[in-house]
Amino acid sequence: MITKPPRPKGLEHYVGALDKADQVGLIATIDAAIAAAPLYVPAMPKTGRPLSVQMTNCGVLGWVTCKDLGYRYQPTHPETGASWPPMPPEILSIWKQYAGIETVPEACLINWYEPGAKLGLHVDRDEQEFAAPVVSISLGDDGWFRVGGLKRGDPTQRLLLKSGDVIVLRDEARLIHHGIDRILPGTNDLLPVPGRYNLTLRRVTPIRKSD
Ligand SMILES: O=C(O)CCC(=O)C(=O)O
Ligand SMILES: [Mn+2]
């Protein structure tokens, strides 16, 4: 008999955390953020290979990647040079509900997956602070989330993420491998077109007592 690997400790999956009204509100928030900071096509460090996921950010810092400068956080959009739009209060309140920590997130990465887009197995490790969790919100079509362990070769399992689900990676799971195998176009009618948004909230700089 093939047994499923246990769910990694510190990985929390809140199914249906956001109701439809909250999801509709978040889409309006994302639309406004994208109007100020357009989605761009990020590229892999060194090779310059484009990612299939389009990205933008809100918050004081945004996660970006390009051929020459690689993965990093910066306060401005890589193409427009403008500051990222501020962290919307409704996104901050989701962090407050799920992060279980007093400190505030600095970055909200907005990922847009068109049909066919995916995100390879990786670890969120470009932050300077790992005491804070990563909180991530799924909106739109379903997506297969692949999750492994601390080491790249560790066994993996997949979880179906649906619109309104919240994932938290904390403590032992803060640095586990994860990615999106694929999305399932047409599984949700929140958006007028097939696709999936994911919002990833992260603390980037060390937590200060005053935060
Ligand atoms: O789309 C997702 O659910 C995961 C996104 C992710 O892992 C990331 O942007 O680092
Ligand atoms: Mn990630």
> Nearest ligand to the C-alpha of residue 158?
1
Which atom belonging to ligand 1 lies closest to the Cα atom of 179? 7
Q: Report whether residue 103 contacts ligand 1, using a CB cutoff of 6 Å.
A: no
Mean pLDDT, residues 2-19 = 90
- Give the tens place of pLDDT for each residue, 39-89: 999 999 999 999 999 999 999 999 999 999 999 999 999 999 999 999 999
Whole-model pTM: value is: 0.97
Instruction: Note the helical H segments in the chain.
Output: 20-36, 89-99
> Nearest ligand to the C-alpha of residue 111?
1
| Atom 8 of ligand 1, nearest CA residue | 200
Radius of gyration of the chain (CA): 16
| Atom 3 of ligand 1, nearest CA residue | 198
- Give the tens place of pLDDT for each residue, 83-131: 999 999 999 999 999 999 999 999 999 999 999 999 999 999 999 999 9
Residues 6+ apart with CB under 8 A from 180: 53, 113, 117, 118, 119, 143, 144, 145, 146, 198
Residue 4 has pLDDT above 80, yes or no: no
Ligand 2 center from residue 135 Cα (angstroms): 10
The domains found in the chain, sorted by start residue, are 11-202 (2.60.120.590)
Contact 163, 140 (CB under 8 A): yes
Ligand 1 center from residue 81 Cα (angstroms): 24
What tokens appear for 190 in the block?
A: 């929140």
Distance, in Å, from the CA atom of 45 to the CA atom of 67, rounded to the nearest integer, reads 4
